[in-house]
Amino acid sequence: MLHIVNKSPYEKSALASCLAHATKGSAVLLIEDGVYAVVQGGTVEAELRQAMGRLELYALSADLEARGMKDKVIDGVKLVDYGGFVDLVAAHRTNQSWL
Amino acid sequence: MSETTGGIDLEEDTSGVVKKFMFVNRRAPYGTIYALEALEVVLISAAFDQDVSLAFLDDGVYQLVKGQHTKGVDMKNFSPTYRALEGYDIEKLYVERESLEARGLSEDQLIVPVEVMSSEELAARMDEQDVVIGF
């Protein structure tokens, strides 16, 4: 399963709910305001690091760049471009958007 | 009159009256239209010679982060506009310290000079206003 989150974790509970429901080995892709979750030093970092032990974490590069956050990403989060986004969708049997 | 004009009496001659207006920014840029719309309204307000201030709290602090490059998402990078506000005599930019800290941000990562203050201080500033408009 590929989970897609596009909301800021500081404004909405979408990411928290996603992480609570994503099963081991699932992939989580953060896009749009969702990318704020992977920025170093925030209060969400601990929760995210914990999730990284059992989930694959990805973030859309262009969205990080737009928000001035590209060089502040937590280690271990993989950055993808739009082509990588398509590859992730194609590689998983199902995907779920946490709007 | 106040039903449709938000309490502003359009009939009365109010030229020369200066009110304290605060625009409260609580949303991240790009993900929604709020931040850009707020900026438009702030620029319009500059034409009315009012006492205007901007508050940035919660995800609103993300609006002021340096180094935004939006080419990849094909949207307008409006962050340089915050630097132009000074030219419109809008110089009161307040940023909530707790919001910065929770997001791992610091004052030196912001695109414009601002006054960083606690949420308690910001609440006091809000209380002083004649009009508070939230985005």
Would you list which residues of chain B are within 8 Å, Cβ to Cβ, of chain A? 27-32, 58-59, 62, 65-73, 75, 77, 79, 102-105, 109
Contact flag A10-B79 (C-beta cutoff 8 Å)? no
CA distance A67 to chain B (A): 5
Quote the pLDDT of residue B16.
83
Question: Residue B66 carries which DSSP code?
Answer: S
Confidence of residue B1 (pLDDT cuts 50, 70, 90): very low
Sheet with A95-98: strands ordered across: A78-80, A56-60, A27-30, A2-5, A95-98
CA distance B55 to chain A (A): 17
* Percent with pLDDT over 70 in chain A: 100
* Percent with pLDDT over 90 in chain B: 87
Contact flag B28-A43 (C-beta cutoff 8 Å)? no
pLDDT, chain B, mean: 93
CB atoms < 10 A from the CB of B91, how many?
15
Which residue of B75, B79, B103 is in closest CB contact with A39? B103
User: C-alpha distances in angstroms, A21 versus A1, A16, A39, A95, A96?
Assistant: 11, 9, 22, 13, 11
Taking residues B56-79, report their average pLDDT.
98
Quote the pLDDT of residue B14.
61
Quote the pLDDT of residue A18.
97
The pair of three-digit structure tokens given for residue B133, joined into one six-digit string = 């408009």
Quote the pLDDT of residue B10.
58
CA distance B121 to chain A (A): 22
Taking residues B61-74, report their average pLDDT.
98
Whether residue B45 contacts residue B20, with contact meaning beta carbons closer than 8 Å, is answered with: no
Quote the pLDDT of residue B4.
60
Domains of chain A: 2-98 (3.40.1260.10)
pLDDT at A61 over 70: yes
Amino acid letter, residue B28? A
Greater pLDDT, A92 or B46: A92
Question: What tens digit of pLDDT does each residue of B91-106 get?
Answer: 999 999 999 999 999 9
Contact flag B59-A72 (C-beta cutoff 8 Å)? no
Distance from C-alpha of A15 to C-alpha of B5, rounded to nearest angstrom = 39
Which residue of A41, A43, A66 is in closest CB contact with B68? A66
Distance from C-alpha of A93 to C-alpha of B36, rounded to nearest angstrom = 38
Taking residues A34-48, report their average pLDDT.
97
Domains of chain B: 18-134 (3.40.1260.10)
